[in-house]
A and B are shown apart, each in its own frame.
Chain A
């Protein structure tokens, strides 16, 4: 999972360099002295509801602090990209948003309440390659798991449950694979099935952990389209990725992470070469003209 070849190089488009000048203090690295960005302190325009509030939050496994002083807000229908090298704490933040890793200082608010209580409206999409490809389960059964919450333990899936599952599978372009065994699909297709499972749950917040890792172009396109469709319905999206181009393409906000927060704010304004270099460590970043290339992830 940590092989350098697998993640390859993340390349951001020409917009990065150009946008650097427009960064109006949307975010600060810890080096700047203040603990966190300034965006979150500003209340959103009227009518916008916050889906996610990080309020100087620190997250720890037991005594080991993993993430410190996170600060930012994501509104309903917006997508935020979590960007940072391996071991930065992206997965840990996603688990904290699920209430599975404790917030030791500060506060995390999800859908207006605590992560624990928000969980029934949050869907999580794990990395497909962390799951056992030999497991005896069909694609449609995986998608139906997204409905378990609504079905309960004993009731049989209703017609409505089946419709939701079928529609979700259709949305990721795998309707004709419903009866295939999950493990027989390609990596990208498996990732799409897991996304369909999340869609079937009708979440208000969607959490995707590195959904584009080792995924083919068709799957990447399908996942991006589905993210857009969900955003259109008011679902907020948190997606961790190494791919700066995808952040530009699909996300309204970015959160630059490496144990600390190195920036949080609108994508173009926040993805500056300076912040990226700080996030990834100076040695890991090459600048060529107006392109930013992260060589080590």
Chain B
């Protein structure tokens, strides 16, 4: 079975564990991103974490990547929280320019390395097959931390997303809560950066939650759905990329395969959502028709 067989190899098993955990984590946090409309925060993070990764790598090699990403991610989360509390920031041209500049700094720094295209690709698109035990442990710790945080804060987070003024009126420290949300998103980007790269992580954050939202109107259903879809996409993507490379001699990058599977899932969810609404409408009009007959 292509879904199980490749994962007897230890490096494939580690890659699988990493992608499944990341998919589940990003799917869950993605619901927060969806409800709080934080897509632009994820976008900003992918731009700033990249130079962080490069600087970390230049300073301390492979082991510096995580810490460089972490520093850049947390600083970005703090700055974005401060900025958004001053004014609307999502459509700010100055911010876009700053982010692109930071990204360019990363590119310039990498390009001074010998064999830089290989490094560049690794930083942008990740290298899931070389995931180590230590990386897996870091991802696990980040995941547990975030899941506990979201579980504890689920009520204030929901109220704040639904009704910000009402949340303030209820005595919730909205600024602090927003900082925590932004840091949670940053931690997901940081955890995912080595396995799937800075570019593709945004798909992991956005797509499963969007697909789950199409399928349900209840947060209590959306969160587990998004989590399962993220994890499943990690698994299927990795299996597909293995099968293509080993079975058919086609080189298929696993990060890209994961994203394509996610998009396919979204398409299916969308079709199912349309069907669901049609059934509901038919039922409603059927009931109305019966009423009329009486």
Chain A positions near chain B (C-beta within 8 angstroms): 95, 98, 100, 119-120, 122-124, 126, 130-132, 135-138, 142, 145, 148-149, 151, 153-154, 181, 207
- 14 A-B pairs with CB atoms under 8 Å apart are A95-B165, A100-B169, A119-B169, A119-B171, A124-B166, A124-B169, A130-B165, A136-B35, A136-B222, A145-B170, A148-B156, A148-B159, A151-B155, A153-B156
Complex Cα distance, B218 from A98, in Å, reads 31
Are B218 and A136 neighbours in the complex by a CB distance under 8 Å? yes
- Pairwise interchain contact A137-B152, C-beta atoms closer than 8 A: no
Given the complex of chains A and B, what is the CA–CA distance between A256 and B165 in angstroms? 24
Closest chain B CB from A238 CB (angstroms): 13
Give the contacting residue for A98; candidates B156, B168, B219; CB below 8 A: B168
Residues of A within 8 A of B158 (CB): 137, 145
> Smallest CB–CB gap between A291 and chain B, Å?
35
Chain A residue nearest in CB terms to B37: A132
Tell me the bound Cα distance from A207 to B158 in angstroms. Answer: 22
Residue on B with the closest CB to A184? B217
A124 to B166, CA, bound (A): 7
Q: Do A131 and B163 touch across chains, with their CB atoms under 8 A apart?
A: yes
B39 within 8 A of A: no
Q: Do B217 and A145 touch (CB < 8 A)? A: no
> From B168, which residue of chain A is reached at the shortest CB distance?
A100
Contact call A135/B159, Cβ cutoff below 8 A: no
Q: Which residues of A contact B138 (CB under 8 A)?
A: none
Chain B residues in 8 Å Cβ range of A130: 165
CA distance A119 to B172 in the complex (A): 11
Q: Which residues of A lie under 8 Å from residue B169 when comparing CB positions?
A: 98, 100, 119, 122-124, 207
Query: Which among A122, A145, A207 has the greatest number of chain B C-beta atoms within 10 A?
Result: A145
Q: Lowest 4 CB-CB distances: which A-B pairs, in order?
A: A124-B169, A136-B217, A181-B217, A98-B169
Contact partner of B162 among A119, A120, A131, A181, CB < 8 A? A131
Is there contact, CB below 8 Å, between B159 and A145?
yes
Nearest-CB residue, chain A, relative to B166: A126
The reply to whether A136 and B165 contact each other, CB–CB distance below 8 Å, is no
Most central of A120, A126, A181 by chain B CB within 10 Å: A126
Quick check: A136 and B213 within 8 Å, CB to CB? yes
Given contacts A100-B169, A135-B162, A136-B217, 8 further A-B contacts (CB under 8 A): A98-B169, A119-B171, A130-B165, A132-B162, A135-B161, A136-B213, A138-B217, A154-B152
Residues of the A chain whose Cβ atoms lie less than 8 Å from the Cβ of B156 = 148, 153
Interface of A is mostly: mixed
Report Cα–Cα, A30/B217, bound state, in Å.
52
**Total A-B pairs, Cβ < 8 A:** 59
A122 to B161, CA, bound (A): 21
Residue of A nearest to B212 (CB): A136
* Residues of A contacting B285 in the complex (Cβ-Cβ under 8 angstroms): none
Residues of A within 8 A of B217 (CB): 136, 138, 181
B residues near A98, Cβ cutoff 8 Å: 168-169
Give the nearest-CB partner of B172 in chain A. A148
B102-145 CB mask vs A (1 if < 8 Å, else 0) is: 00000000000000000000000000000000000000000000
* CB <8 Å contact, B218 and A138: yes
Find out whether the CB atom of A148 lies under 8 angstroms from the CB atom of B165: no
Interface string of B140-154 (1 = CB under 8 A from A): 000000000000110
B245 contacts chain A at the CB level, 8 A cutoff: no
Closest residue of A by beta carbon distance from B169? A124
Which residue of B35, B152, B166 contacts A135 across the interface (Cβ within 8 Å)?
B35
Measured CB to CB, the nearest residue on chain A to B174 is A100
Q: Is the CB of A126 within 8 A of B153?
A: no
Q: A135-B35, A153-B156 are in contact. Are A148 and B170 (CB under 8 A)?
A: yes
Least distance between B92 CB and chain A CB atoms (Å): 20
* Shortest distance from the beta carbon of B223 to any chain A beta carbon, whole Å: 10
- For residue A106, give the distance in angstroms from its CB to the closest CB of chain B: 22
- Tell me the bound Cα distance from A126 to B127 in angstroms: 49
Considering the chains assembled together, what is the distance between the CA atoms of A137 and B158 in angstroms? 9
Chain A residue at minimal CB-CB distance from B159: A145
Q: How far is the CA of A98 from the CA of B164 in the complex (A)?
A: 14
Whole-angstrom distance between the Cβ of A79 and the nearest chain B Cβ: 19
CA distance A61 to B33 in the complex (A): 29
Q: Are B152 and A149 touching (Cβ within 8 A)?
A: no
Which of chain A's residues have a CB closer than 8 A to the CB of B219?
136-137
Residues on B with beta carbons closer than 8 Å to the beta carbon of A132: 162
Asked whether B171 lies within 8 Å of A124 as measured between CB atoms, the reply is no
Q: Which of chain B's residues have a CB closer than 8 A to the CB of A126?
A: 163, 165-166
Residues in B neighbouring A137, C-beta threshold 8 A:
158, 162, 219
Nearest CB in chain B to that of A132: its residue: B162
Of all chain B residues, the one with the shortest Cβ separation from A123 is B169
User: Does B84 count as interface, using CB distance less than 8 angstroms?
Assistant: no
Q: Is B222's CB under 8 angstroms from A153's CB?
A: no
Q: Using a CB-CB cutoff of 8 Å, which residues 199-223 of chain B contact chain A?
A: 213, 216-219, 222
Which residues of B, 171-208, contact A by the 8 Å Cβ criterion?
171
In the complex, what distance in Å separates the CA atom of A234 from the CA atom of B197?
60
* Residue among B153, B170, B218, B222 with most chain A CB within 10 A: B170
Q: Are A153 and B155 in contact (CB under 8 A)?
A: yes
Question: How many Å lie between the Cα of A89 and that of B135 in the bound state?
Answer: 54
